[in-house]
Amino acid sequence: MVKEFSKGIAKQRREFQREIYKLEANERKMKADLENMVKKKEPPSAKRIIAQNILRNQRFIKRYQKLDVQLQDVQFQYYFHNLPRLNTVSTTDTLVNVMRSMSDMMGKANKNMNVQSI
């Protein structure tokens, strides 16, 4: 269930990133159009409309970025909240294996060491 939830959030974040990328590309295009309009000395009303669209586009980008950050926060909170429950068994198993191997190594070292020669 955790994996499905994480996958869903990751998918939504990728969609937000795609949308942000599209909006940024659109903004670059509108800025280039505005520069061309200034060079061609177009009427101020047309330039104003393009400028308003650029500002609107920037607001959309900020909103998507804010939503993306909020989703990332939810993803991290959910992951770290459930991590101890999910990894308790595997962590315990790993610790037992490490302790077992350390015990074996200490026993072998004890057999090979001559205490009287020290």
Q: What is the pLDDT of residue 22?
A: 94
Highest mean pLDDT among 48-57, 94-103, 109-118: 48-57
Q: Which residue type is seen at 10?
A: A
Q: What's the whole-number average pLDDT of the chain?
A: 82
Write the DSSP string, 6-71.
HHHHHHHHHHHHHHHHHHHHHHHHHHHHHHHHHHTT--HHHHHHHHHHHHHHHHHHHHHHHHHHHH
Write the pLDDT tens digit of every residue in 68-77.
Answer: 888 888 877 7
Q: Where is pLDDT greater, at 87 or 95?
A: 95
Structure tokens at 32: 């280039």
